[in-house]
Structures are given as structure tokens and as C-alpha cells.
Homo-oligomer: A and B are copies of this chain.
């Protein structure tokens, strides 16, 4: 029996297996047992056992006293050197902090990543509504404020490619119709900001603006708040100021 190729679509190289094991954490809880990892990665138990052991000795995984494995600080520490972290998050953080203090609402910062909105950071307002986004997590482009902004300023082909997909509708208010969505994106471009109302979470709305550098939209900042408190005009002004401040911070190196 060929050891590397199990019947179902499984990892390829040794390193690929390691990555596959680590990737299990993205869709699950932050602590997994060996058998959960084996099931999620679709690797045999004995293989999982070995791979996990190697990841532990490398400091990429840690096993708790509860026999569950967690992401190790070594991995986390290395990841902080990713451009998205070191060159965007770090520099935007003070501005996000100010934004948070000014509004008291949830603040999100996202970039485009593989056809989804990747949340680079978020500040969860204690006195604001609970939100589904999470640092490091992905959400659809067409159901989130930051997502719409990121999509709207993409090249035309990319947009059409996205519109051609089968778009999910988390709520009845989600805009999944390509024609309506395209109209919405055009509006975003003329306005310079996006608004969502209950398109991701009932009772919740959001406003977002692009962060532009050298003419290119590299990220988006947004506010997520209770629908009733969504004072669009005021928020847009505050956000645009913040976006400019972040862009300046990035340019200043």
C-alpha cells in the first residue's frame, strides 16, 4: 500500500501534512485532542501522532495538561512577522484605539485574502453589539462593510469573477443577486464608503471606508454597531479621518 497517498484527497509532503494538521485549528476550537486532529486532517492516527509530536518538539504546538493541543507561542511569535501584522496592524493600532474610544463601537480592520475579507484586527466594544468577525478569521466580501469596500475597489475582472460565484446569504437581507450587488458596489465607489444593514447579523449594521495607498485600496476600516445607533454620516467622517491617518502612518514608514 502506497504510504503517501490515501484514497481521499490528502496532504502530499511531510511538511504538507504538518500544515494540514495546523490548519485544523482554523475551523475548530482552539484546543483539540489527537483524535480530533486525526479526524480533521484525515490522517491516520499513527501518522497524526508522529506529526504532532514533531510539531510539539518544534514549539509549534503545545499539549496542555488536559491532553489537548494548542497553538504554541513559537508559531505565534513567528507569525507576528507577517507583513499583515508588522506593517499594517501594528501601525494602524493606535488609530484604531482612538477610533474605539471616540465611537465606543466595534472597530474592524480587514484586507482582501483569497476572495474573502481577512480580519487583521478588531476591537470589541463592551458597550456595543457582539460581532462574528475575529482577528485572523475570514468572512464573505459581500455581506460585510469592510468586504464590500475591498471588493468595490478591485479590478473589474476580479469583481465579475466574484459575482459569478454562488454567493451565500447569512440573513434574508444579504445581497446575493449579482446585479443588485454590482449596483451596490458602484454606489460604494461613488460614495467612498459602504453600509450594511443586517446583511451578516440581524439587528447589526456597519459602515466601512477604504485605506488607500499609492492609489490602491490595501485595506478597509469599519465600524460595526447596533442598527439603531448607526449614524452613518458621523461615522463616515470619523472613519475617513482615521483611514487617512493610517495611510499616512504607513507612508511614513
* Interface residue ranges, A against B (CB under 8 Å): 13-19, 22-23, 25-26, 30-31, 51, 54-55, 57-60, 70-87, 90, 93-94, 96-98, 100-101, 113-114, 118, 122-126, 134-138
Contact among B31, B83, B125 for A70, CB-based, below 8 A: B83
Residue of B with least CB distance to A71: B82
Are the CB atoms of A94 and B126 closer together than 8 Å? yes
Are the CB atoms of A75 and B73 closer together than 8 Å? no
Contact among B18, B57, B74, B118 for A18, CB-based, below 8 A: B18
Residue of B with least CB distance to A76: B82
Contact among B14, B26, B73 for A113, CB-based, below 8 A: B73
Sampled A-B contacts (11; CB under 8 Å): A14-B15, A15-B54, A19-B60, A26-B77, A75-B78, A79-B136, A80-B136, A85-B136, A94-B100, A94-B126, A97-B100
Contact among B51, B75, B123, B125 for A15, CB-based, below 8 A: B51
Main secondary structure of the interface of A (DSSP, over half): helix
Contact among B54, B82, B137 for A72, CB-based, below 8 A: B82
Name the residue among A97, A118, A137 with the largest chain B CB count within 10 angstroms.
A97
- Bound state CA distance, A25 and B86, in angstroms? 12
Name the residue among A13, A81, A137 with the largest chain B CB count within 10 angstroms.
A81
Q: How far is the CB of A98 from chain B (nearest CB, A)?
A: 6
Chain B residues within an 8 Å CB radius of A137? 77, 80
Contact among B81, B98, B135 for A136, CB-based, below 8 A: B81
Using A77-B118, A79-B76 as known contacts, say yes or no to A85 and B22 having CB atoms under 8 A apart: no
Q: How far is the CB of A200 from chain B (nearest CB, A)?
A: 19
Q: How far is the CB of A205 from chain B (nearest CB, A)?
A: 20
Residue of B with least CB distance to A80: B136
9 more CB-based (< 8 A) A-B contacts, given A23-B78, A75-B82, A80-B136:
A13-B14, A18-B18, A31-B83, A75-B78, A85-B136, A93-B124, A94-B125, A97-B97, A97-B123
Q: How far is the CB of A145 from chain B (nearest CB, A)?
A: 20
Residue of B with least CB distance to A59: B19
User: What 10 A-B pairs come out closest when comparing CB atoms?
Assistant: A80-B136, A79-B79, A14-B14, A97-B97, A71-B82, A19-B58, A76-B82, A15-B54, A15-B18, A101-B101
